Amino acid sequence: MEQSTLNNSDLPAIEGGKPARETKIFYGHQYIDEADVEAVVEVLRHGDLTCGPKIKELEDKLCCLTGAKYAVVCSNGTAALHMSALAAGVGEGDEVITTPITFAASANCALYCGARPVFADIDPETYNIDPQKVEEAITERTKAVVVVDYTGQSVALDPIRKICREHNLILIEDGAHVIGTKYRGQANGSISDMTTFSFHPVKTVTGGEGGAVLTNDEMLYQKLLLYRAHGITRNTDLMAHEPDGSWYYEQVDLGYNYRMTDIQAALIISQLDKLPMFSKRRKEIVERYNEAFAKLPSLFVQREIPESDTTRHLYILRIVPEKLRIDRRQFFDALAAENVCCNVHYIPTYYFPYYEKLGYRRGLCPNAEKLYEEIISLPLYYAMTDEDVESVIEAVTKIAVYYAKE
């Protein structure tokens, strides 16, 4: 009797054992406290809903946090990338180098501008874009490089910046995962020509939706302001004609409505107060996961570069297929049966039918394609309890041990 109970808890739930958790846990979830609620309600009761003082307050706060000179907040991270590509002067016939292991928006921003994304492969152990592969992908048409701090670990920015300087390319850092991370002691956001943030609810800091572009360059800053609001300006220095009166403004370029509301800005300002706390907890969970999974030969732990002090947005579990009797899909399904509901970040961008129609084919980036076959994003978010973390470790360990090859 006792023997069978013991066996039952070692048996993966998918094989009829007892699940590691009774309730489902998901890979990410926002954390909203009373201060956040108050901040939003205050805007609703007394504030301007859009174009009000919360926008500037948030921009100042992002500059303060990162050390960047200028910040332009906007409607979401995708808009931030589009505005950055426009400000970089990306247009028809240009090429933009990026990684395939990212959300589609990192490459789509080139397409929005009539340019062609060119995919450079990743480093097989850090999973970030490989600087050497970036250099190899450069042609006379290359205008910009969009790097992604995948999972929140900083890209090797020094070598990438050197390459961009030598080839006269604009460096856009898609920092949707990176808020709270430092590269060589300097906050990401103040290093590349432009860095974009996203405040989607799965990200470390949220506004429901929201984005930002950070830069140290005054010229890029002025362009970003224009692209955020229809290409319209009230700055007389930028006008072609004498103002007709104090109501006068001019549309001097083709921009968009990519504004953020003050409601979102107030929420993000309040969330940013919790960033040190969010970072600390995420680091603790990552350390605990790494410690547990490093012991298992059928799992590979993502390599950290010493230059990056990482606030991790995603925790990537990577299987070593040669050491397991099951593949990633079966591992994923076995975790779901344990009530650990994961995700996969990311399907290589050029696998999508839209990209296939544009002529992209599988085989472009072998390291990225291999990674995609082996990864699962585990639950990682501030509000996870120690019991949650241990139950995820229990589930992963149970499956990795049970299905290990002899």
- Cβ-based nearer residue to ligand PLP, 79 or 392: 79
| Smaller CB separation from ligand PLP, 261 or 391 | 261
| Separation between Cα atoms, residue 140 and residue 392, nearest integer Å | 49
Q: How far is the CB of 79 from ligand PLP (least distance, A)?
A: 7
Nearest to ligand PLP of 345, 398 (CB atom): 345
In the complex, the smallest distance separating the C-beta of residue 389 from ligand PLP, rounded to whole angstroms, is 23
Q: Residue 149 CB, nearest distance to ligand PLP (Å)?
A: 8
d(CA 148, CA 99): 7
Closer Cβ to ligand PLP, 150 or 221, answer by number:
150
In whole angstroms, the minimum distance from the beta carbon of 77 to ligand PLP comes to 3
Of the two residues 200 and 328, which places its CB atom closer to ligand PLP in the complex?
Answer: 200
Give the footprint of ligand PLP on this chain (CB under 6 A): 76-78, 102-103, 105-106, 148, 174, 176-177, 198, 200, 211
- Tell me how far, at minimum, the Cβ of 198 lies from ligand PLP, in Å: 3
Q: What is the 3-state secondary structure (H, E, C) of the chain?
A: CHHHHHHHHHCCHHHCCCCCCCCCECCCCCCCCHHHHHHHHHHHHHCCCECCHHHHHHHHHHHHHHCCCEEEEECCHHHHHHHHHHHCCCCCCCEEEECCCCCCHHHHHHHHCCCEEEECCECCCCCCECHHHHHHHCCCCEEEEEEECHHHCCCCHHHHHHHHHHHCCEEEEECCCCCCCEECCEECCCCCCEEEEECCCCCCCCCCCCEEEEECCHHHHHHHHHHHECCEECCHHHCCCCCCCCCCCEECCCCCECCCEHHHHHHHHHHHCCHHHHHHHHHHHHHHHHHHHHCCCCEECCCCCCCEECCCCCEEEEECHHHECCCHHHHHHHHHHCCECCECCCCCHHHCHHHHHCCCCCCCCHHHHHHHHHEEEECCCCCCCHHHHHHHHHHHHHHHHHCECC
Q: State in angstroms the smallest separation of the CB of 200 from ligand PLP.
A: 4
Structure tokens at 294: 């490093």
Residue closer to ligand PLP by CB (options 182, 345) is 345
Question: Which of residues 78 and 233 has its CB atom nearest to ligand PLP in the complex?
Answer: 78
Neighbours of 273 (CB within 10 A): 14
> Nearest-CB residue to ligand PLP?
77
Question: What does the CA dihedral 353, 354, 359, 361 come to, rounded to 10 degrees?
Answer: -40
- CB of residue 293 to ligand PLP, shortest distance in Å: 23
Least CB distance to ligand PLP at residue 155 (A): 12
Q: Please state at what angle helix 105-112 crosses helix 77-87, rounded to 10 degrees.
A: 40
Of 19 and 100, which CB lies nearer to ligand PLP in the complex structure? Answer: 100
- CB closer to ligand PLP, 14 vs 74: 74
Please, which residue, 20 or 375, has the CB nearer to ligand PLP? 375
**In angstroms, what is the minimal distance from the CB of 4 to ligand PLP?**
45
Report the nearest approach of ligand PLP to the CB of residue 84 (Å): 11
